[in-house]
Amino acid sequence: MQEISLRVVTIGDSKVGKTSLIYRYIKDQYDENLSPTVGVSVYPRVLPLEKYNVVVNICDTAGQEKYRSLGSIFYHNAIGAIVVFDVTNRESFENVPKWVEEYKANAQEPLVFIAANKSDISDKAVITFDETLELANQLETQCIWTSAKDGSGVTDLFELLNDEIKEYVLRSNAIIENPTTKPASSSSSCC
């Protein structure tokens, strides 16, 4: 079976739950003591697709301003992005268009999803569902309300992303043309 390696980035302001979302997806657990990401961390996930193993390397990027310059490096070969904001933090919501614009200016593929995270504390939300719907429409994408803490919406978010990745691979014939295609037995790296 052949293997193709693709990159997805999670981006957004610091402390919005990017790492926790990935941790919930990969391990189906929540850890409130996760340390903030320094630079970039990579979490590989294999998607079987016909006669291929598509390795999706989820790159967890730091949201702190001092790491912003690393973004364009990691966006360049990314197949998609998940832009995360915190529903209890209006500034993180207002920064979503900037994150999307920065990603699209540097990435080869414009696949973007928005994650409205921390929906488990919706009683403290300062963003309404209608606002997220309007923003998603403006940015021509989808917004999924998620909670890394209780797991709601996380599977839906990553299933949508994975479906789009599979369609991309089949549509673009990336397996044949992609120079990172290699036998599944060899080791791979990301980023």
pLDDT tens readout for residues 156-185: 999 999 999 999 888 876 444 544 544 444
Q: Exposure pattern of 144-161 as b/e (b: 16+ CB <10 Å)?
A: bbbbbbeeebbeebbeeb
Mapped onto helix, strand or coil, the DSSP state of residue 80 is: strand
* Residue spans per domain, the chain: 2-177
Angle in degrees, 0-180, between the axes of helices 96-106 and 129-138, rounded to the nearest 10: 30
Given a cut of 50, whether residue 67 has pLDDT beyond it is no
Mapped onto helix, strand or coil, the DSSP state of residue 170 is: helix
Give the whole-angstrom CA distance, residue 108 versus residue 177.
15
Given a cut of 50, whether residue 188 has pLDDT beyond it is no
Cα–Cα distances in angstroms (integers) from residue 183 to residues 3, 42, 131, 168, in the given order: 6, 21, 46, 20
pTM: 0.83
Residue 170: per-residue pLDDT:
84
Q: Which two tokens stand for residue 12?
A: 């957004």
Which stretches does DSSP call E strand in 128-171? 142-145
Q: Which CATH architecture has domain 2-177?
A: 3-Layer(aba) Sandwich (3.40)
What integer best gives the mean pLDDT of the chain? Answer: 84
Given a cut of 90, whether residue 129 has pLDDT beyond it is yes
Per-residue pLDDT tens for 15-47? 999 999 999 999 898 877 766 555 567 888 998
- Cα 98 to its chain centre, rounded Å, is 16
Give the whole-angstrom CA distance, residue 165 versus residue 173.
12
Given a cut of 70, whether residue 122 has pLDDT beyond it is yes
Q: How confident is the model at residue 64 (pLDDT cuts 50, 70, 90)?
A: very low
Which stretches does DSSP call E strand in the chain? 2-11, 40-49, 52-61, 78-86, 111-117, 142-145, 182-183
- Of the spans 10-19, 134-143, 174-183, which averages the highest pLDDT? 134-143
